[in-house]
């Protein structure tokens, strides 16, 4: 049950002017390291080609592609890390005359090739794209002209004039010094967590590689604050540490068991209803057709974003997974289920399926399933949107405004019931004489969300 105080809700305007537009319930915020894209900048991703063009490589790009393969349709992607831009300084003798700097940080930009041709009192600077091998040429008889031409004629590098002397000839020089910032610090993640809070339409967040209890706490604290302050509804997809066996392609049974035990122990004292844990890795295929290993978190998240509200993830099969590394034994699956940790398993004749659909609530918490939490949060969001046009309207001593408010809130909730997104709800809108003087009303919403049946793998 959720109880909120909404100020200034009495109104004298006719009900029916509220247009019910269900908000998106599957917007994801994903942050991680990449080889392209500006740092701490939101990019809206709904297609794999767009993701590749912007981020070019790195863990963030992998996470986006895995999500899109599994069914994600709207992702806010953010690059984080201490990445540096590649650069090349053109010289005239010992004097620096023009600085060419990559448009974005990253190692990809180190492959940009630059040639300078001398033709009397003019210079031609050629810049070659390492992917397409297309060359853009810019000719001028002053450095001012060259810099302006480079700025306006391509988007790979920026140019800065350092001196008046024209540059010397250069053949096959590359930009250098670009880094990806793949090793993320707690500070990088904290910056991303704070950045995510401005996007109130986000349903859940994933900070790729944030796999320590300290970072988990920071993430779920942010989610909890968003919910309690009525800024947005969201929960967190949390990474457990990666399996690091001696032979990555053939972990021993003992290494797998130690890994399972270690993850359960690490999570043992951590409980929050907005937290969803996925354990394990799989082999995926990248855009070049090469296999790589990665966590299953993103793929499972993409599947979660694609299923209808209140539908269980149990038995859903994420896409683009070649094989599981490792495959957990029946006993290990029981351990993970008892610890509320979601994972993938191989089922003969069906393939690779999600073996659980739970969040990580404290003991006794009723919000114990992903699909239930999604449905409850979405109902709360839609109810608040329907109430918003009533804010700031004049008080109605006859109580008619109170009735209109209740009717408008019921509209999206009834639609959710018709669509099977919630089973039922109870709604009351009340105001005491004292609250009426303050222009306040108390809205109490109780949402009943189906709890899916599932087979518990225990003896």
The tokens of 148 are what? 């302006």
Q: What is the reported pTM?
A: 0.84
Residue 265 has a pLDDT of 96
CA quadruple 197, 201, 203, 209: dihedral positive or negative? negative
pLDDT mean by block of 10 residues, the chain; 459 residues = 46 44 72 94 96 93 96 95 94 96 93 96 96 94 96 95 96 95 94 96 94 96 89 89 90 96 94 94 91 95 89 88 93 94 91 92 86 86 84 66 87 91 90 79 84 43
Q: How far is CA 446 from the centre of its chain?
A: 29
Residue 309 has a pLDDT of 85
127 cis-preceded (ω within 30 degrees of 0): no
With the CA atoms of 244, 250, 255 and 259 taken in that order, what torsion angle do they form, in degrees rounded to the nearest 10? 50
Residue 397 has a pLDDT of 59
Name the 3-class secondary structure at 165.
coil
Name the 3-class secondary structure at 260.
helix
Cβ–Cβ under 8 Å, residues 333 and 355: yes
Exposure string of 390-402, with b = 16+ CB inside 10 Å and e = fewer, is beebebbeeeebb
How buried is residue 209: exposed, middle or buried, by Cβ count under 10 Å (0-12/13-18/19+)?
A: buried
Cβ–Cβ under 8 Å, residues 266 and 213: yes
The whole-angstrom separation of Cα 92 and Cα 139 is: 17
Give the H/E segment covering residue 204. strand 204-207
Q: Where are the beta strands (DSSP E) in 110-203?
A: 113-119, 122-128, 135-140, 157-161, 170-174
């Amino acid at each position: 049950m959720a109880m909120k105080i909404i100020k200034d809700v009495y109104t004298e305007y006719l009900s029916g002017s509220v247009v019910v537009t269900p908000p998106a319930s599957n917007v994801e915020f994903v942050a991680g390291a990449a080889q392209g894209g500006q740092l701490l900048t939101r990019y809206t991703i709904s297609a794999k080609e767009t993701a590749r063009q912007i981020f070019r490589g790195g863990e963030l790009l992998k996470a986006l592609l895995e999500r899109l393969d599994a069914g994600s349709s709207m992702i806010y992607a953010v690059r984080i890390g201490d990445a540096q831009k590649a650069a090349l300084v053109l010289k005239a003798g010992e004097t620096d005359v023009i600085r060419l700097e990559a448009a974005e940080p990253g190692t990809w930009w180190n492959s940009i090739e630059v040639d300078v041709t001398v033709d009397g009192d003019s210079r031609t600077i050629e810049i070659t794209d390492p992917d397409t091998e297309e060359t853009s040429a810019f000719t001028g008889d002053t450095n001012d002209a060259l810099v302006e031409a480079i700025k306006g004629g391509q988007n790979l590098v920026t140019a800065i004039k350092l001196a008046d002397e024209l540059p010397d000839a250069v053949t096959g020089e590359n930009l250098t010094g670009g880094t990806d910032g793949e090793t993320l610090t707690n500070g990088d993640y904290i910056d991303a967590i704070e950045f995510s809070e401005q996007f109130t339409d986000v349903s859940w967040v994933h900070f790729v590689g944030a796999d320590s209890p300290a970072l988990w706490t920071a993430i779920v604290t942010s989610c909890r604050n968003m919910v309690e302050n009525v800024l947005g509804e969201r929960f967190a997809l949390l990474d457990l540490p990666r399996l690091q066996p001696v032979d990555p392609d053939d972990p021993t049974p003992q290494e797998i068991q130690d890994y399972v035990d270690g993850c359960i122990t690490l999570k043992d004292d951590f409980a929050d209803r907005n937290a969803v844990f996925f354990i394990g890795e799989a082999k995926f295929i990248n855009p070049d057709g090469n296999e790589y290993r990665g966590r299953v978190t993103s793929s499972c998240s993409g599947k979660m974003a694609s299923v209808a509200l209140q539908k269980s993830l149990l038995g859903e099969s994420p896409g683009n997974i070649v094989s599981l590394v490792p495959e957990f034994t029946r006993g290990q699956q029981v351990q993970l289920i008892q610890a509320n940790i979601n994972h993938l398993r191989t089922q003969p004749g069906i393939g690779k399926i999600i073996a659980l659909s739970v969040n990580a609530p404290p003991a006794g918490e009723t919000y114990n399933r992903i699909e239930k939490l999604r449905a409850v949060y979405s109902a709360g969001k839609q109810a608040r949107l329907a109430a918003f046009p009533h804010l700031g309207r004049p008080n109605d001593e006859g109580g008619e405004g109170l009735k209109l408010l209740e009717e408008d809130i019921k509209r999206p909730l009834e639609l959710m019931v018709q669509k099977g997104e919630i089973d039922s709800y109870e709604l009351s809108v009340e105001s005491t004489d004292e609250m009426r003087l303050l222009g306040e009303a108390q809205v109490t919403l109780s949402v009943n969300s189906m709890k899916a049946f599932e087979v518990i793998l225990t003896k």
